[in-house]
């Protein structure tokens, strides 16, 4: 009854007003104050109508009168034993914070101001919260302690111009490992800048100096163990020093009009920050990507109009700049679970096409064989994948109210959209196989991005908090494939190729958690066929993830991030604690299940829609949900309970309409 009585007037609590953050007006304590364990005076900021208060007073008087009529007894009424869900409520609150830590990792980790930042469910916080609470793991670190999460200030040392052989080697690395994904700069122009800076340094503009040093920063960041024989390994400067030097020159023209070069300059900075291991860069990346999109829209880059008087070459550069900004914005929004800047139907510009300035020199061709052979075909395929990622964000990860329902859409509509996205993802993967990139690092990186979207679509989400068996099967195969490709790239290029920044660390943790979830669900739900024979298929793969996390944190020189390794270890121990798997040696496992077997079969059957658009398939899904939750999933998470009630209510309403 009390939950149905809403205040007639509500104002933000004092703490939220002082911090200038949005207060959700939740009584008796708002969510922001509860998250930070702060005192909340929201009860002093609400008022109820007189009729409500009078009704409650009358009800109290009536109950007190009834109580006086009950005869007293000398017998002591035994207190009821607490239910299992009430025995230890404190870890539930801590698990909420740990789940949020997983999401905050996309913005460089939590800090003193994380309580006022929003990170969406797509960042993994919803999935982690549900999974952690269902496991009821013991908190692995003191999430209330913020001091351990502070990092050293970013070094502001600048770099001198390196010897020309080193600069040329770094330019080749940039072309092979960065330009292939972000081809918005003309290669002839880059070569001229690198020659001019050594021939006539005083005649170079700030634009040219900035371009050179930011290219050196991006290339230096890409160095791996495979570059041991490259002159670039003799460089005395590091990536951050080059970046700081580039910023010095950027400041000299950053207040100029937002022309094409200005947009490209900020885009270059954002690309470096995307792979940065410093939290402040990741924290600002979403805002920077939205600025780039706003400036690009203002410049009309999202439109293709031949009447504007641009040459064919200028139009091509404008198109490429737009699509690179688009890819960055989609990638960052999907990582952080935040809103998109522009809908796809508002974009009308041509995809990148091959141009004369794409020609490579013989040395560059030998350094970048995939770029030499396929050129802009790679980015065209990535544009399609980023577009699909945006669609997942706008359909599966839409906002839901406290009741668990989504606004202006139904469960059936989301199911239909999910099925179409799945078909498009599978078509994208089939086209990737036909391009001919295998075997290459680029192929593995694109396959990993594909697997990340498969997991984003199929893991527990605000729309499907309990995945079906087939959704879990997709997650299982995608997790296996991603881990195998990470292992392959790491074996050839070293840990810096796969875990050198917050983004990559976050990806590995979420993929590992998804693999653990699949094994845990296999123990919770009965499996059939091949899955029943190997319910713990990810035991070795999650051990690989744990090793990658450990070495990645070491490489990033961020010991305060070791808490994520401890968290992952705690979840893994909990999942496999009560299995007979501890008696099986890793060698025996490897002999029965090969890594290749685990990643096979990730092919969509058009006649086997997971999300059952109508009828019996919905009923089958609901039966699986009931079976899963009956095993102890109820009263674990408020959002999960609200989602289940909303789902059942919508299905019952649909059945009633069909009966009419």
Alpha-carbon gap, residue 198 to 202, rounded angstroms: 10
Alpha-carbon gap, residue 439 to 462, rounded angstroms: 36
Give the pLDDT of residue 148: 42
Instruction: Work out the angle at residue 203's Cα, subtended by the Cα atoms of residues 253 and 167, and round it to the nearest 5 degrees.
Output: 85
What's the whole-number mean pLDDT along residues 283-307? 89
Secondary structure (3-state) at 127? helix
What are the structure tokens assigned to 544, written together? 């690989």
For the cut 60, the answer to whether the pLDDT of residue 509 exceeds it is yes
pLDDT bracket for residue 4 (50, 70, 90): low
Give the pLDDT of residue 326: 97
Give the pLDDT of residue 79: 43
Q: What is the 3-state secondary structure (H, E, C) of 270-294?
A: HHHHHCCCCHHHHHHHHHHHHHHHH
Give the pLDDT of residue 373: 95
What's the whole-number mean pLDDT along residues 345-374? 94
Give the pLDDT of residue 631: 67
| Burial category of 312 from C-beta neighbours within 10 Å (exposed 0-12, middle 13-18, buried 19 and up) | exposed
Domain edges within the chain: 2-60, 158-255, 270-350, 616-659
Give the pLDDT of residue 158: 87
**Of how many residues is the chain composed?**
660
Q: Where are the alpha helices (DSSP H) in 441-561?
A: 441-458, 469-493, 502-524, 530-533, 539-555
What are the structure tokens assigned to 645, written together? 């009630």
Q: How many angstroms from the chain centroid is the CA of residue 77?
A: 53
Give the pLDDT of residue 274: 92
- Least confident window among 57-61, 271-275, 492-496, 587-591: 587-591
Q: Where are the alpha helices (DSSP H) in 350-440?
A: 362-367, 369-374, 377-395, 411-435
What's the whole-number mean pLDDT along residues 496-506? 93
What are the structure tokens assigned to 420, written together? 């179409």
Give the pLDDT of residue 604: 36
Whether omega before 439 lies within 30 degrees of 0, making that bond cis, reads yes
* Residue 479: φ, ψ to 5°: -65, -45
Q: Give the DSSP letter of residue 46.
A: E
Secondary structure (3-state) at 323? helix
Give the pLDDT of residue 145: 43
Give the pLDDT of residue 128: 83
Alpha-carbon gap, residue 364 to 190, rounded angstroms: 13
Alpha-carbon gap, residue 33 to 161, rounded angstroms: 51
**What is the tally of helices (H) and strands (E) in the chain?**
26, 2
Query: Per-residue pLDDT tens for 518-571?
Result: 998 888 765 554 544 455 889 999 999 999 999 999 999 888 889 899 999 999
321 near 357, Cβ under 8 Å? no
* Percent share of the chain, pLDDT over 70: 79
pLDDT bracket for residue 253 (50, 70, 90): confident
pLDDT bracket for residue 591 (50, 70, 90): very low
For the cut 70, the answer to whether the pLDDT of residue 480 exceeds it is yes
Token pair 């091509």 is found at: 316
End-to-end alpha-carbon separation of the chain, Å?
32
Alpha-carbon gap, residue 565 to 512, rounded angstroms: 11
For the cut 80, the answer to whether the pLDDT of residue 470 exceeds it is yes
Please give the CATH topology (third level) of the domain spanning 2-60. CD2-Gal4 (4.10.240)
Token pair 């908190």 is found at: 139
Q: 502-524 and 90-104 helices cross at what angle (nearest 10)?
A: 140
Alpha-carbon gap, residue 608 to 559, rounded angstroms: 46
Alpha-carbon gap, residue 72 to 325, rounded angstroms: 76
Query: Per-residue pLDDT tens for 313-341?
Result: 999 999 999 999 999 999 999 998 888 98
pLDDT bracket for residue 639 (50, 70, 90): confident
For the cut 50, the answer to whether the pLDDT of residue 613 exceeds it is no
Helix then strand then coil, in percent of the chain rounded to 5, is 65, 0, 35
From the list 200, 230, 219, 205, the residue with the least C-alpha distance to 159 is 219
- Least confident window among 251-265, 375-389, 546-560, 576-590: 576-590
DSSP string, 312-330: HHHHHHHHHHHHHHHHHHH
Give the pLDDT of residue 350: 92
pLDDT bracket for residue 144 (50, 70, 90): very low
Query: Per-residue pLDDT tens for 361-417?
Result: 999 999 999 999 999 999 999 999 999 999 999 988 887 766 666 666 788 888 889
Query: Per-residue pLDDT tens for 432-458?
Result: 999 999 899 999 999 999 999 999 999
Give the pLDDT of residue 74: 45
* Percent share of the chain, pLDDT over 90: 44
What are the structure tokens assigned to 540, written together? 């070795």
What are the structure tokens assigned to 574, written together? 């909990």
Alpha-carbon gap, residue 336 to 338, rounded angstroms: 5
What's the whole-number mean pLDDT along residues 79-96? 46
What are the structure tokens assigned to 340, written together? 């998109």
- Least confident window among 89-103, 230-244, 631-645: 89-103
Secondary structure (3-state) at 20? coil
Give the pLDDT of residue 247: 92
pLDDT bracket for residue 86 (50, 70, 90): very low
For the cut 50, the answer to whether the pLDDT of residue 234 exceeds it is yes
What's the whole-number mean pLDDT along residues 242-251? 92
pTM to 2 decimals?
0.79
Give the pLDDT of residue 568: 92
B/e letters for 155-179, b = 16+ CB within 10 Å, e = fewer, are eeebbebbeeebbbbbbbbbbbbbb
For the cut 90, the answer to whether the pLDDT of residue 610 exceeds it is no
Higher pLDDT, 44 or 170: 170
Whether omega before 28 lies within 30 degrees of 0, making that bond cis, reads yes
Long-range contact set of residues 555-561: C-beta below 8 Å, sequence gap at least 24: 555/495, 555/496, 555/499, 555/500, 556/277, 556/499, 556/500, 556/501, 556/505, 557/277, 558/151, 558/277, 560/109, 560/148, 560/149, 560/150, 560/151, 561/109, 561/505
Token pair 């329902």 is found at: 405
| Burial category of 595 from C-beta neighbours within 10 Å (exposed 0-12, middle 13-18, buried 19 and up) | middle
Give the pLDDT of residue 153: 55
440 near 494, Cβ under 8 Å? no
């Amino acid at each position: 009854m009390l939950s149905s009585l809403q205040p007639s007037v509500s104002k933000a609590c004092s703490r939220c007003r002082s911090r200038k953050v949005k207060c959700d007006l939740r009584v008796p304590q708002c969510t922001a104050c509860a998250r930070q364990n702060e005192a909340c005076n929201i009860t002093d900021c609400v008022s109820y109508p007189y009729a409500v208060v009078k009704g409650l007073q009358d009800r109290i008087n009536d109950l007190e009168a009834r109580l006086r009529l009950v005869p007293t007894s000398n017998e002591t009424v035994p207190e009821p034993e607490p239910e299992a869900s009430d025995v230890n409520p404190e870890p539930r609150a801590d698990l909420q914070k740990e789940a949020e830590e997983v999401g905050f990792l996309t913005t460089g980790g939590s800090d003193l101001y994380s309580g006022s930042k929003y990170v969406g469910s797509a960042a993994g916080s919803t999935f982690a919260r549900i999974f952690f609470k269902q496991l009821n793991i013991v908190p692995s670190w003191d999430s209330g302690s913020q001091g351990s999460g502070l990092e050293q200030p970013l070094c502001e040392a600048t770099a001198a111009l390196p010897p020309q052989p080193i600069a040329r080697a770094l330019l080749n690395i940039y072309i092979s490992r960065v330009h292939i994904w972000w081809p918005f700069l003309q290669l002839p122009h880059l070569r001229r800048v690198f020659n001019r800076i050594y021939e006539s340094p005083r005649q170079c503009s700030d634009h040219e100096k900035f371009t050179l040093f930011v290219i050196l920063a991006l290339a230096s960041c890409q160095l791996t163990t495979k570059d041991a024989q490259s002159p670039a390994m003799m460089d005395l400067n590091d990536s951050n020093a080059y970046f700081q030097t580039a910023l010095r020159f950027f400041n000299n023209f950053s207040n100029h009009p937002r022309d094409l070069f200005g947009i490209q300059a900020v885009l270059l900075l954002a690309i470096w920050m995307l792979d940065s291991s410093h939290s402040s860069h990741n924290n600002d990346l979403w805002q920077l990507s939205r600025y780039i999109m706003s400036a690009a829209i203002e410049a009309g880059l999202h439109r293709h109009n031949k009447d504007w008087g641009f040459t064919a070459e200028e139009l091509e550069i404008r198109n490429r700049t737009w699509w690179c900004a688009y890819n960055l914005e989609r990638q960052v929004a999907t990582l952080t679970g935040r809103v998109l800047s522009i809908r796809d139907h508002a974009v009308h510009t041509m995809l990148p096409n091959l141009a004369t300035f794409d020609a490579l020199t013989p040395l560059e061709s030998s350094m970048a064989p995939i770029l030499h052979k396929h050129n802009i075909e790679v980015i065209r395929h990535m544009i399609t994948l980023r577009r699909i990622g945006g669609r997942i964000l706008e359909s599966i990860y839409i906002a839901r109210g406290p009741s668990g329902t989504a606004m202006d859409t139904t469960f059936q509509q989301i199911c239909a959209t999910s099925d179409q996205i799945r078909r498009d993802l599978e078509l994208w993967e089939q086209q990737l196989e036909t391009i001919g990139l295998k075997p290459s690092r680029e192929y593995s990186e694109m396959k990993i991005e594909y697997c990340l979207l498969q997991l984003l679509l199929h893991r527990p989400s605000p729309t499907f908090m309990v995945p079906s068996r087939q959704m879990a099967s997709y997650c299982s195969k995608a997790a296996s494939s991603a881990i195998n490709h990470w292992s392959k790239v790491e074996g050839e290029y070293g840990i810096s190729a796969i875990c050198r920044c917050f983004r990559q660390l976050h990806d590995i943790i979420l993929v590992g958690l998804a693999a653990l979830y699949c094994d845990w669900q296999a123990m919770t739900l009965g499996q059939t066929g091949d899955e029943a024979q190997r319910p713990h298929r990810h035991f070795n793969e999650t051990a690989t993830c744990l090793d990658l996390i450990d070495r990645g944190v070491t490489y990033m020189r961020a010991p305060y991030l070791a808490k994520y390794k401890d968290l992952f270890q705690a979840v893994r121990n909990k999942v496999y604690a009560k299995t007979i798997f501890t008696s099986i040696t890793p060698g025996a496992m490897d002999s029965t299940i090969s890594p290749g077997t685990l990643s096979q079969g990730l092919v969509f059957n058009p006649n086997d829609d997971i999300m059952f658009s109508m009828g019996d398939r919905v009923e089958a899904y609901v039966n699986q949900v009931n079976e899963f939750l009956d095993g102890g999933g109820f009263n674990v998470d408020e959002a999960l309970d609200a989602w289940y009630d909303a789902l059942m209510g919508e299905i019952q309403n649909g059945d009633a309409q069909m009966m009419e």
